[in-house]
Amino acid sequence: MAAMAGLSLRRTRLNPAIRELTREIRPVVGQFIQPLFVVESLSEREAVPGLNDVWRDTPESLVQQVRADLQKGVSKFLLFGVPAEKTTANFDHSFTAAQIARVRQEFSDDVWLAADVCLCSSTTHGHCGIVNEQGDYVDNEDSVAALATAALQYAQAGADCVAPSDMMDGRVAAIRTQLDNAGLDRTLIMSYSAKFHSGFYGPFRVAADSAPGDNIKLTDRASYQIDPARPSDAFLSSQRDAEEGADILMVKPGMPYLDVLADLSARIAKPWAVYQTSGESAALELLTQAGLARRERINAEAWTAFLRAGAAMIISYDARHAHDWLSSE
């Protein structure tokens, strides 16, 4: 105790220079992935409610947004396509594939482009798969087949990475098989391997037009997304996806599941992504708008927490501001 009494921890906190020198976690813009929404039915882009500088883009404004993001140092993107026509089966993925091809043609290898793979924006009911005739169950086998078809089309269009977010069993293996058989063995799979049934997805579901509707018995996604009270499922799901061929694993949401991220990243030796969800971003934005916090500081703190818990990359709606905000901190 006598030796500890002479220990000064404050000397390495005294000024900005020494704090910078002794910092162990340093978020940099190269670790960020910016989500993008492109909507077939829009003639003009529109803001996503609750979020700061996040848009539902037209095909034309999408290209302009990517160009603007590149100028801010952001070169990695996660694309969500929202087709105009919704159905229950036999999905047409040509709109999203065309936007991938357009971005690739416009920017070549200057961008790294991941394509979200799900059916929720394409279905009349808003679920992530094909629902049975009774409307009370998402059929796993049929859904996986449809997801693998979508992933193949996105990869053929030029996506560097396909990102299944549906939480069906076995979809990573099916996608990997489709890609490899088509000679697309260099296309990565970033699996939403630990995606929880969360209340933090609100603004996203507006942006992607993907909220489960009341026109079906199955009114939420609890039957296929992970229960927040069962973290062991997150390990089993992530371990399975790694074995099936996923190159990158993910925890979503981020802040409420830092314990899960820390545990999984220590147990499974894969690169880990974390998704700072729309609800998380909206909560921070509300603090900012109420004058209760500085936007730059609270985001930098959240991003630092993600890296501290084991994330290698951060999917954030505020990625396009990361360079400026981190520089100010």
The pLDDT assigned to 3 comes to: 56
The per-residue pLDDT for 23 is: 92
Task: Lowest mean pLDDT of 26-35, 61-70, 210-219, 237-246, name the range.
Answer: 210-219
pLDDT, tens digit, 9 for 90 and up, residues 159-181: 999 999 999 999 999 999 999 99
**Residues ≥6 apart with Cβ < 8 Å to 266:** 310
Question: CA neighbours within 13 Å on the CB side: how many for 187?
Answer: 29
55-57/46-47 β-pairing: antiparallel
Instruction: State residue 7's pLDDT score.
Output: 83
Query: For the segment 189-221, what is each residue's pLDDT rounded down to a tens digit?
Result: 999 999 999 999 999 888 988 888 776 787 888
Tokens describing residue 33: 């992935």
- Is the pLDDT score of 300 beyond 90? yes
3-state secondary structure of 39: strand
pLDDT at 220: 85
pLDDT category at 244 given cuts 50, 70, 90 is very high
**Among 153, 180, 169, 184, which residue's Cα sits nearest to residue 79?**
153
What pLDDT does 77 receive? 99
pLDDT, the chain, mean: 95
Which CATH homologous superfamily contains domain 28-252? Aldolase class I (3.20.20.70)
- Look at residue 277 and tell me whether its pLDDT is greater than 70: yes
Angle at which helix 94-107 crosses helix 140-157, to 10 degrees, equals 30
Nearest alpha-carbon partner for 236 in 193, 196, 265: 193
> Residue 80 pairs with which residues in a beta bridge?
37
Neighbour-count burial for 104-115, b at 16+ CB within 10 Å, e otherwise: beebeeebebbb
Helix (H, G, I), strand (E, B) or coil at 248: strand
Stated pTM of the model = 0.95
Task: Yes or no: say if 206 and 48 are a contact pair by the CB < 8 Å rule.
Answer: yes
- pLDDT reading at 133 higher than 90: no
Q: Which amino acid is at 80?
A: F
E strands present in the chain: 32-39, 46-47, 55-57, 76-82, 112-117, 130-131, 138-139, 161-164, 188-195, 248-252, 272-276, 313-316
112-117/76-82 β-pairing: parallel
Q: Taking the domains of the chain in order of start, what are their residue ranges? A: 28-252
Q: Mean pLDDT throughout 121-132? A: 87
Do 78 and 154 touch, CB atoms closer than 8 A? no
Confidence band for 48, pLDDT divided at 50, 70 and 90:
very high
**DSSP assigned state of 41:** T
User: What is the pLDDT at residue 45?
Assistant: 98
Burial class (CB in 10 A: 0-12, 13-18, 19+), 12: exposed
287-324 in b/e burial notation, b at 16+ Cβ within 10 A?
Answer: ebeeeebebbebbbebbbbbbebbbebbbbbbbbbbbe
The band of 128, judged by pLDDT with boundaries at 50, 70 and 90, is confident
Q: Give percent above pLDDT 90 in the chain.
A: 83
Any idea which residues carry the catalytic annotation?
A: 195, 252
SS3 annotation, 102-145: HHHHHHHHHCEEEEEECCCCCECCCCCCEECCCCCCEEHHHHHH
Q: Indicate if the pLDDT at residue 2 is higher than 70.
A: no
Instruction: Report pLDDT digits (tens) over 63-111.
Output: 999 999 999 999 999 999 999 998 888 999 999 999 999 999 999 999 9
What would the mean pLDDT of 255-261 be, rounded to a whole number? Answer: 99
Among 307, 308, 283, 284, which residue's Cα sits nearest to residue 296? Answer: 284
Residues 6+ apart with CB under 8 A from 230: none
